Structure 1
Amino acid sequence: EGVNKFYHASFMWWYWDGSVQMTKTATGSGLITLGFASLVVISSSKSLVLTLVSTVTIFFILVASSATLVGLGWELGFLESICFSILIGISCDFVIHFCHAYKHFEGNVDSQLRARFAVVDMGPSIFAAAATTIAAASVMLFCTTPFFTKFGTVLLVTIIYAIIASFIVYIVLVDLFGPAEPTKMFDLCWKRIVRKKEDEEIVKNDSSLVASTRPSMIRRSSVKRTYGFD
């Protein structure tokens, strides 16, 4: 009878609950980031293919960076969870810039030309941003405060994988599978919506015109019946 009322109390349960919550938060924040990044890409590029390629590339950055940190012996703690949220934000930046540059041309333009233009037009800016970020992260590696050391490590690893994913994974995918007309489907849907509204306006105007001319026709017919002339 006493065994049935047994319970265990330990500070380890607090640590376990905190670890579970941090794991859920990290996973949820990653999924939220992918979702919002997809919304940003599809709203700016108006292309499902570019959205899919961008999401795959961002997912690669998240997985590769997390795997590298685990390989370095990291365990998920309070400092790591804060750094992980920063990792998620940085992983989207370069990909979205390349996606915007790929969509720059209007009309039917070959995907290879679009990919080449994205690299030439946006590549130097991305390299410059990556260089300054790597320089800042390298300085933080020599800090004595653990948070700044971990933050610098996360920043350095994420930027390296973001460069690799943006210049290799993303560019190769859009070069092979990128659409020649990224906004074609959106433009067709928009034209149909606009055309439908125009047709509705025409029908509405015709109906109002018929309604306005009907009373005059009735008056003319009544005058003809009464007096025998128009």
Structure 2
Amino acid sequence: MTGYYDIIATLQSSTLYSVVVSVLVSLAVVVLCTRHCILSIVAGIVICSIMLWTIAASILQGWELSVVESTIIVLTIGLSFDFTLHFAVSYREDKEVCVESRISSCLSSAGRACTLGAVTSILCGIPLLFAHTAAFTQVGSLLVTLGITSLFGATFVFPAALSCWMSFRSDKVHVVRF
């Protein structure tokens, strides 16, 4: 019985540690894939926002931190950066000079795949919402919430943030690519 209480006692700090490690790994993947400082910063901000929206929605649904919830939180980070990364790489690969043209091209090329990915995640999560097991219901809730927040963040927030950030950039500032 003390093993269970030990797990519960260390769950909050372990979850926080796992979240920090997962966020750092996902940001490293974004940096390695985009090799563009500003693009990586904007994508990182959007990814962290998606993660926070999903966790906030889970808290609003009445979740309390236990083993299943902490596992789901760590999985959220891994799943939340997928669509934003697709949009960031699509933006980087476009050769247009105009920011608006690049964003438009990015939305048309990566937008379809990301939309279909979100739709399949949501459709897979909906039947789980009606399960009689709490863990299945929570996973279904995660899939639906994450599908919505990831698609919203990647499709609306990322291009808007990128457009704002790039419009502030002057011609005298050189973007560091590595």
Fold match, TM over 0.5? yes
Q: What's the counterpart of residue 47 of structure 2?
A: 58
Q: What code does the residue aligned with 2:162 have?
A: V
Higher gyration radius (CA): 1
Aligned length, in residue pairs:
174
Q: Is the 8 A contact 1:111 1:180 kept in 2?
A: no
* Compared CA separation, residues 48 and 112, structure 1 to 2 (3 A): same
Residue 117 in structure 1 maps to residue 117 in structure 2: no
Q: CA deviation at 1:143?
A: 1.2
- Residues in 1 aligned to 2:157 and 2:29: alpha-carbon distance in whole angstroms: 19
Q: What's the counterpart of residue 163 of structure 2?
A: 175
Q: What's the counterpart of residue 84 of structure 1?
A: 73
From 136, 146, 150, the equivalent of 1:158 is 146
Q: CA deviation at 1:184?
A: 5.1
- RMSD value over aligned CA atoms? 2.3
Q: List per-residue Cα deviations over 1:173-214 (Å, max 9, x = no partner).
A: 112213799x95236xxxxxxxxxxxxxxxxxxxxxxxxxxx
Q: Give 4+ residue runs of structure 1 displaced > 6 Å after superposition.
A: none
Q: CA deviation at 1:13?
A: 9.7
Q: What code does the residue aligned with 2:177 have?
A: F
Q: What's the counterpart of residue 185 of structure 1?
A: 176
Q: Is the 8 A contact 1:110 1:180 kept in 2?
A: no
Q: Is the 8 A contact 2:38 2:175 kept in 1?
A: no
- Residues in 1 aligned to 2:122 and 2:53: alpha-carbon distance in whole angstroms: 17
Q: What's the counterpart of residue 29 of structure 1?
A: 18
Counterpart secondary structure, 1:75: coil
Q: Which is bigger in relative contact order (C-alpha 8 A, separation at least 6)?
A: 2
Q: CA deviation at 1:90?
A: 0.9
Q: Is the 8 A contact 1:53 1:174 kept in 2?
A: yes
Q: What's the counterpart of residue 29 of structure 2?
A: 40
Q: List per-residue Cα deviations over 1:94-144 (Å, max 9, x = no partner).
A: 0100001001124x6122111111101110110101111100000111111
Unaligned 5+ runs, structure 2: none
Q: List per-residue Cα deviations over 1:157-177 (Å, max 9, x = no partner).
A: 111111111111111011221
TM-score by length of 2: 0.87
Q: Is the 8 A contact 1:90 1:159 kept in 2?
A: no
Residue 147 in structure 1 maps to residue 135 in structure 2: yes
Q: What code does the residue aligned with 1:185 have?
A: V
Counterpart secondary structure, 2:62: coil
- Residues in 2 aligned to 1:180 and 1:147: alpha-carbon distance in whole angstroms: 50
Q: CA deviation at 1:14?
A: 5.4
- Residues in 2 aligned to 1:81 and 1:97: alpha-carbon distance in whole angstroms: 26
Unaligned 5+ runs, structure 1: 1-10, 188-230
Q: List per-residue Cα deviations over 1:19-59 (Å, max 9, x = no partner).
A: 34221222222222221222222222111111111111111
Question: Percent same amino acid at aligned positions?
Answer: 22
- Residues in 2 aligned to 1:175 and 1:32: alpha-carbon distance in whole angstroms: 29
Q: Is the 8 A contact 2:94 2:105 kept in 1?
A: no
- Residues in 1 aligned to 2:151 and 2:118: alpha-carbon distance in whole angstroms: 7
